[in-house]
Structure 1
Amino acid sequence: MKKNYNVEFWNFVCHFGEHKLLDFYSELVHPAFTNGLTRDYGENCWFFHNVELLTCNFDGNELPFVYGRIIKDTVLRRTQYFSEGELKEDEKGIQSSPSSIFILSLIDHRLFFVKEQSDSPTMENFKSTITKFIKDIRTKLIDDEYRAAKEIYDYNGGSNGKLHRTTKKNLGVRFPEPNIEIIAQSSDAGIDEFVRGMKSIDQLQLEVITPNNESDCNGFFEAIRKKDKQVGVKKSTHTYRKKDGVLAHDNISDISKEANKDENVQITLKGKDIHNDKLIGTNDSFKLVKRIDEIEEIPTLFTKSVYESFMELIKDGIIRGPKISDMDKVKEKLSNILKIIR
């Protein structure tokens, strides 16, 4: 059995128009995880497996998590092999189904990801899959609501009756499309190390994203989000480019670390390495990982262990951790979700 796995730390940001993840969790998000949907591309197929909504006790509080696996079902093919000093043609295929474990904390939307094999599904695979599934569930929900409303409308006299006719456009407003961003959580040390490896920095780009239920930790990003809200966008991009020289390493490192502490900003660094080759760094380039020896088979125990590791990183000051702005409302929504689903 494989030993030594890496736990990756991410921030799962999901909006439905002006609504947030928990507002449509029961109707759209949970079914996307549990309804047995598949995403196909060629001989590859991605799907979620054994997903459950569970709770773990931390200091007397029952916190809810979504635990499960994303599986990539594929076929590994060969056309030849080398034996007895020569190449031999031999076409064969074998099914392969590598997997990754994901744990989504619903109270703070932190996402923990563990690849179980070298060719396991990536976070990019996870994002594409959950986005497609939520959109599929949304389309089906709108179609079902439309058919039900049409039956009632027709039963009550149709255009000659008194009821207002429901349209799919109206339902599309009622159930907005999902907008999902998944941001790697990084440490100051990881950013410093990457910046030190750059011979020159040509550009720093910050994509400021509206968070789920978190308060801003920096007045600069708070001001940006207020402007974004005024013009009706969920994210905006701000770019710093070199002029008459290069961007200073220390200054760029400081700005990047401030953006990292916000935990809702996508960072992109562009420049050159010591060999003058193009170098691009993102949150994923300096993401924080924690080594674990093994994976606990019982989901609740493994979830509790991973989240305790996350809280230790916050306690040690390695990451800032979430600052929930409306905790009472969040807890109320979570209580309703648990009543509906469990």
Structure 2
Amino acid sequence: MARHTVEFANAIIRTDDKELIDLFSPTIWPALTDNTLRRTHGDSAFFINECKGLTIQHNNKEYQAITARFIKTTKLKRAQYYNESEGLIADPQILDSAPSAVFLLILNNHKLIYLHETAHAPPLSQLEKTLSWLIKTTTQKIIHREYTARRPKKDKISLRKLQAENPQPDVHIIPIPHEGSISEFVELFEKIKSVEVRLIRPNSEIDINPFFGMARQEQERIKSKQTTITQKSPDGLSASGTKNYLAAASKQANARVSVTGTNEAGKKISGDNEKFSIKTYISTIPTGLVSIAKKLFMEFENLTNGHPIEKPPHATAIDTQAQRIAQTNNWQTVRIEEDDSASSD
């Protein structure tokens, strides 16, 4: 029986003074619901399909979320195939293919749950690139539309000023780590030569670890666009210390971490957040996008209840904004019970 991988990540979309919830209505929602937008790369195209907004009611709490399919269209090419009686046979063929994933993004806590719906589904890194491209393209459309509308009028504005008023958001989809996987990964090293932590400006979230919290405060104080903390030793860093350091740095998925070193054979090895991310597996995918979303929500809830994922406390202001977004766009309300079997839509 096939098993489908589910990944968990933190979605950070922000400019200097606005974050995901602020950018959602003017930029993110239009970008995700414009079915004409396709990001191309070689013979492949990546796009969002069937994007829906949901208000999820669970355990006397309410969450606003969006769910959609992330599709990669591509062409599979073959030059030949093998036949036992005739050996290799030349037979060029081209076949259209469209592997897909389904994601659920919870606006209240900016956590993203990602289901590999088919074999060869596009990875999380491709979703990050596509979201960045979609939002950038939509921002450019907004700027051009405003510039065109105001150009013949007395209140016309320069294109440069409009670009300054509508900066391009940074988009980061950072996998949430698993401490057990961090430990297993570090054990692969005979010598750890360096550990690098690149702090990403988060959404509304307070750093639990005081060291990284202070580093972020300094980052904000001096208006740093990028802060990287590097630990190195030619003699090799402590394995146990590295495990604790990586766990602290990556726990809230607000930093990109990388480790380099050598294994027992002296071969260089390295890894980043994706090497030790939390994954679960489901054998049966429900029918219908909303039912899949309910299933993914419960996968997330089960992990927060068991504490592999630390759920940030609800921020009242963000909850209020999320509720307003759902009401304005008339999002569907779905109720999830503890024993919900996620039937079809």
Q: Using structure 1 for the length normalisation, give the TM-score.
A: 0.91
Q: Alpha-carbon deviation of 1:234?
A: 4.4
* Alpha-carbon distance in 2 for matches of 1:206, 1:287: 16
The corresponding residue for 1:183 is 174
| Equivalent residue letter for 2:301 | M
The corresponding residue for 1:93 is 94
8 Å contact kept, 1:55–1:300: no
* Alpha-carbon distance in 2 for matches of 1:111, 1:166: 38
- Distance change in 2, residues 1:173/1:341 (3 Å): farther
- Distance change in 2, residues 1:191/1:82 (3 Å): same
* Alpha-carbon distance in 2 for matches of 1:261, 1:89: 52
* Alpha-carbon distance in 1 for matches of 2:55, 2:239: 44
Residues 243-278 of structure 1 show CA distances to partners (whole Å, capped at 9, x for unaligned) of 4x1111111111111112232121111111222211
* Alpha-carbon distance in 1 for matches of 2:268, 2:181: 19
Residues 68-97 of structure 1 show CA distances to partners (whole Å, capped at 9, x for unaligned) of 111111111112222333322222111111
The corresponding residue for 1:123 is 124
* Alpha-carbon distance in 1 for matches of 2:113, 2:252: 18
The corresponding residue for 2:152 is 151
Aligned to 1:57, what secondary structure does the other structure show?
strand
The corresponding residue for 1:21 is 20
Q: Alpha-carbon deviation of 1:233?
A: 2.9
8 Å contact kept, 1:218–1:262: no
Q: Using structure 2 for the length normalisation, give the TM-score.
A: 0.91
The corresponding residue for 2:221 is 230
- Distance change in 2, residues 1:323/1:271 (3 Å): farther
Aligned to 2:10, what secondary structure does the other structure show?
strand
Q: Alpha-carbon deviation of 1:201?
A: 0.3
Please tell me whether residue 332 in structure 1 is matched to residue 320 in structure 2: yes
* Alpha-carbon distance in 1 for matches of 2:75, 2:32: 24
The corresponding residue for 1:61 is 61
8 Å contact kept, 2:113–2:300: no
Within 5 A, what are the aligned runs for 1:161-172? Answer: 163=155, 165-172=156-163
- Distance change in 2, residues 1:323/1:205 (3 Å): farther
The corresponding residue for 1:217 is 208
8 Å contact kept, 1:56–1:300: no
* Alpha-carbon distance in 1 for matches of 2:107, 2:237: 39
Please tell me whether residue 320 in structure 1 is matched to residue 310 in structure 2: yes
Displaced runs of 4+ in structure 1, greater than 6 A? none
8 Å contact kept, 2:199–2:216: yes
Instruction: Give 2:264's match in structure 1, choosing from 274, 281, 290.
Output: 274
* Alpha-carbon distance in 2 for matches of 1:80, 1:287: 38
Root-mean-square deviation (Å): 1.6
8 Å contact kept, 2:55–2:326: no
List alignment gaps of at least 5 residues for structure 1: 154-162
The corresponding residue for 1:10 is 9
Q: Alpha-carbon deviation of 1:147?
A: 1.2
8 Å contact kept, 1:187–1:260: no
Number of residues paired by the alignment? 328
- Distance change in 2, residues 1:196/1:131 (3 Å): same
Residues 180-208 of structure 1 show CA distances to partners (whole Å, capped at 9, x for unaligned) of 11111111111111111211100011111
State the identity as a percent.
26
Q: Which moved more, 1:165-174 or 1:220-229?
A: 165-174
- Distance change in 2, residues 1:338/1:234 (3 Å): farther
* Alpha-carbon distance in 2 for matches of 1:240, 1:54: 43
* Alpha-carbon distance in 1 for matches of 2:249, 2:302: 21
Aligned to 1:213, what secondary structure does the other structure show?
coil
Q: Alpha-carbon deviation of 1:341?
A: 2.3
Q: Which moved more, 1:5-14 or 1:172-181?
A: 172-181
Aligned to 2:230, what secondary structure does the other structure show?
strand
8 Å contact kept, 1:26–1:341: no
8 Å contact kept, 2:176–2:252: no
The corresponding residue for 1:158 is none
